[in-house]
Structure 1
């Protein structure tokens, strides 16, 4: 195998080990060989390397390059198809910005890959990226008003007095995170969803989180288990647990909780470091809807 292929493969063995991102959260399978880990934000695609029976070596450099190219095309489709929030996908957010679109393509084109070793009888390659860091910086629209402090309002919102909104008080401490159980709601994971109270007023979302924390940690994480030993890395040892009452929006990306619990959550978020740590997990079903956008960004 050519040296230019061997070195990246050896490096990727260390960079893409399963323990690299401990909290994977809910893993959504997309297309043929694609997966999104909604805890770590890792996207990965595994593709088989084609080989001929009469070949002396199990797989040639050309076959590996073809498999990597195919995997990266699916990886790009996965990135574009992901919903940022209830209003847009990554694809729609990049539609009118050719420079950003080109940068996203370039990032995916140069994504890390792990190739088959001489001991690998299956002959597969894996490419990966993350909805963190550089990729997140590129795809989060500048129109999102991170940390504005102004909660979004649903059409059902009814004006309430400050006394009603602060009825629980603001001195609640001791909670290390927030777990919202939205199982059974057929929720669609998104990069920057909103949590609303039944009163129609936003409780948690990008309006509370800094852009830097959203980029580096993710606004929320998704999981399909309530086991604290799994969730602890994200929400700590003593998270507040809240049951969702419905999902909102045509894509069911946003979560609605009871008004009384919404008041409690607002008070808890003000009292601790939950917002700064983005220590929020939304529980989803084992299988959620997925869609791949096949239109290439220009």
Structure 2
């Protein structure tokens, strides 16, 4: 009996060691048991098992069916994730059959948590992360990572923006090298989370985004993460002990993925990203409003995933 307990405890440790990621951040419900944690980058789907009439232990067939449905839903969610202002994972993979097939294979073999022994919940959980191998697949090579060339907003858009004056923060007196990261407060702006957002200044010039970040850093950490609080103690893991806090004034683009800050703050961001390791570790957190309720509707990819022969 004692041996059995040890085995069960070891199995539970193994299960939870795979699924626990630091800093969950903003959790975006995706309907039908799905969710994206934009802090850790974890995408999950929880699917209830169909119970037989006598309410007994789920059959292997019921588990297999639930896992298959959950992984199909997981793929749909990943396809619908916005990469940047231009498109979703699905739209970027539309012309790349090889990458599409590899994504399907990755999701088909995604980590799985089966119902635990004596677990009355009767559900399975599958998950992946928008980091590592998955990010390697879905982050387009067409994005000019670490080009050093900041993008510009179209002049027509820039001219229509109401410029606001915002002075430098008091902490700026310590010098840009003293800042360990950036917190962008974008609450109230109905931001759409994306894997590779850009922060612009009101001068129309990019201040932070993939053009400063290496592709390897974006794959490992994400260009930026999303949270629902600006509490430095909560965000310390991502932005360090002394982050610069910046207020976003508006969004940019039809999908509201990119942000606009005042020109003085944009200049400060550019300066601080030239020193230290903030840019290497993508120490940027974007704070947005929490998703109050599950939207219910499943996200629909804006382009079909290419089919390959089995």
Q: TM-score, normalised by structure 1?
A: 0.88
Deviations along 1:161-216, one digit per CA (max 9) or x if unpaired, are: xxxxxx999x6211111000000000000000100000110000000000000001
Query: Which residue is 2:4 aligned to?
Result: none
Query: Which residue is 1:50 aligned to?
Result: 50
Alpha-carbon distance in structure 1 between the residues aligned to 2:19 and 2:97: 36
Assess, with a 3 A threshold, how the Cα gap between structure 1 residues 120 and 187 changes in structure 2: closer, same or farther: same
Deviation of 1:269 (Å): 1.3
SS at match of 2:124: strand
Deviation of 1:260 (Å): 1.2
Alpha-carbon distance in structure 2 between the residues aligned to 1:175 and 1:69: 46
Query: Which residue is 2:143 aligned to?
Result: 144
Deviation of 1:119 (Å): 1.1
Query: Which residue is 2:28 aligned to?
Result: 28
Deviations along 1:202-243, one digit per CA (max 9) or x if unpaired, are: 000000000000001100010001111210100011100000
SS at match of 2:112: strand
Alpha-carbon distance in structure 2 between the residues aligned to 1:134 and 1:197: 32
Alpha-carbon distance in structure 2 between the residues aligned to 1:12 and 1:112: 15
Matched, 1:212 2:219: no
Deviation of 1:32 (Å): 1.3
2:262 to 237, 258, 261: 258
- Give ranges in structure 1 of 5+ residues lacking alignment: 1-9, 159-166
**Equivalences for residues 9-28 of structure 1 within 5 A:** 14-17=14-17, 20-28=20-28
Deviations along 1:29-57, one digit per CA (max 9) or x if unpaired, are: 101111111011011110101011236x4
**Equivalences for residues 138-287 of structure 1 within 5 A:** 138-156=137-155, 172-287=176-291
Matched, 1:96 2:95: yes
Deviation of 1:271 (Å): 2.2
Alpha-carbon distance in structure 1 between the residues aligned to 2:18 and 2:187: 27
Task: Check whether the contact 2:182–2:283 (CA below 8 A) recurs between aligned residues.
Answer: yes
Matched, 1:293 2:305: no
Alpha-carbon distance in structure 1 between the residues aligned to 2:99 and 2:15: 26
Alpha-carbon distance in structure 2 between the residues aligned to 1:251 and 1:28: 16
SS at match of 1:103: helix
Alpha-carbon distance in structure 2 between the residues aligned to 1:296 and 1:280: 32
Q: TM-score, normalised by structure 2?
A: 0.85
Task: Check whether the contact 1:81–1:291 (CA below 8 A) recurs between aligned residues.
Answer: no
Task: Check whether the contact 1:172–1:267 (CA below 8 A) recurs between aligned residues.
Answer: yes
SS at match of 2:223: coil
Task: Check whether the contact 1:224–1:284 (CA below 8 A) recurs between aligned residues.
Answer: yes
Assess, with a 3 A threshold, how the Cα gap between structure 1 residues 191 and 109 changes in structure 2: closer, same or farther: same
Task: Check whether the contact 1:195–1:203 (CA below 8 A) recurs between aligned residues.
Answer: yes
Task: Check whether the contact 1:235–1:281 (CA below 8 A) recurs between aligned residues.
Answer: yes
Q: How large is the RMSD of aligned CA atoms in angstroms?
A: 2.4
Assess, with a 3 A threshold, how the Cα gap between structure 1 residues 240 and 32 changes in structure 2: closer, same or farther: same
Query: Which residue is 2:117 aligned to?
Result: 118
Matched, 1:135 2:164: no
